[in-house]
Amino acid sequence: MAQINENMIRAVFDEMVKHKTALQKHLIVDEDDEEEEVDYRVLGDLIIKNYPWPVGIELRRLFSGSMRQLDRLRLDQIFKTIERSMQFICFVMLSQLWKDKLKGVATMPDSLSKDFETRFCVLSLGNFTWLIRSVGKFYKDNNIEWFMPEMGENFDKKFYAALDFWIPERNEIGHYQINLTQEEIEKRCVEYEEKLTYILQRIAFLAKYKLVSVREIKVQKPKNREATFHHVINLLNSTDSDFAAKEIDEIIYSESNCVLLMKTIKSIEEYLNLSPLVIDTHTEVLDTKEKFGIKKDIFMYTKFRNDQLFYLGTEVTEKCDLRAMSNYGILVEEFKELLSTIAPSGATVEA
């Protein structure tokens, strides 16, 4: 693996270990063996695996052999990685804001609700950054506890300033508004990697949490005993898209056919539901011709237009029409509820 990847991998992994100490064992080498060194390929795979899939897959691409040259391909992937990382963080924050407003925990000022309507119309890196800063400041000013407390600890003025750096760069370079020489591309690859590393270090706490998809919930009620709910879930943290399945029996139940961020996979008690902003289509049965266009992937919301939700896949690169999904109508209703809850004046999101 190229030295430039090694620098990022070691810096991010060292920060990840602080939040998940079990990873420390991968840094241990035999001091008596002078030739033994830390295997950065292993550390890179662990970073990919311990970030949620939408972030991990972009890092898998960035760490791949095809990205080892300081060229335009690598520069574009650095932009893609920062954008997807901020999109995921933004969706986590908005999912909690939605939940807290329904519970009456959070009361937003009208100005913030109106700005949300505008910013959520067109999702861009600039709007992700604005939403992260605005919601983060709102939670801090009102002493509202985050589902992931590390957000309050890591999302500060320095972090927001680091996000702001990317906006003009993305607008000019990311969208090919200026032409760069090979020398300029090489310099920016090095500079941007350092700045991406900082962002990844500040969100390394994500390794503590598990992103899962609830495939099925069954009620089990033995005679003379309390009912339990058998959850079949897929872990959406993996080095590839063959996600491992796990089963949990609880006396409580979660929402079905949804993507959850969990504090532990041992219990369904503490979770944050990210649907309909993040969805999983792996469980969709392609039992009609209309469903043949549905690809199996983790999808993230991009826009809402003419009463239709649009998504982009994390692994699938082509556009997919997901309207034939069996729970598509539910996703639309949930999205409208999110809008009416956060922006009660009546947001109409058009792109």
Q: Which residues pair with 321 in a beta bridge?
A: none
Return all residues near 288 (Cβ < 8 A) that are at least 6 apart: 324
**Residue 280 token pair:** 């999983």
pLDDT at 153: 94
pTM to 2 decimal places: 0.89
d(CA 149, CA 143): 11
pLDDT at 62: 96
- CA 343-163-81 angle, to 5 degrees, is 95
pLDDT at 276: 94
The pLDDT tens digits of the residues spanning 72-96 come to 999 999 999 999 999 999 999 999 9
Residue that wins the pLDDT comparison between 38 and 77: 77
On whether the CB atoms of residues 295 and 286 are closer than 8 A, the answer is: no
Please report which confidence band the pLDDT of residue 350 belongs to, taking 50, 70 and 90 as the band edges.
very low
The answer on pLDDT for 11 being more than 50 is: yes
Among 215-219, 322-326, 341-345, the least confident range: 215-219
pLDDT at 121: 67
Q: At what angle do helices 3-19 and 40-50 cross, to 10 degrees?
A: 50
**Residue 282 token pair:** 């792996």
Which DSSP symbol is given to 73?
H
Place of tokens 């898209």: 241
Per-domain boundaries in the chain: 3-206, 210-342
CA dihedral 173, 177, 181, 182 (to 10 degrees): 40
Long-range contacts of 317-321 (CB under 8 A, 24+ apart): 320/293, 320/294, 320/295, 321/293, 321/294
pLDDT at 346: 46
The pLDDT tens digits of the residues spanning 176-230 come to 556 888 999 999 999 999 999 999 999 999 999 999 887 766 766 666 667 666 6
Please report which confidence band the pLDDT of residue 162 belongs to, taking 50, 70 and 90 as the band edges.
very high
Mean per-residue pLDDT, 20-33 = 77
d(CA 170, CA 166): 6
pLDDT at 84: 95
d(CA 207, CA 237): 9
If we measure between CA atoms, which residue out of 324, 241, 225, 282 comes closest to residue 61? 241
Say what percent of the chain tops pLDDT 70.
83
The answer on pLDDT for 349 being more than 50 is: no
Average pLDDT, rounded, for the chain: 85
pLDDT at 348: 43
The answer on pLDDT for 247 being more than 70 is: no
pLDDT at 29: 61
Residue that wins the pLDDT comparison between 256 and 177: 256
The answer on pLDDT for 1 being more than 80 is: no
Mean per-residue pLDDT, 295-319 = 89
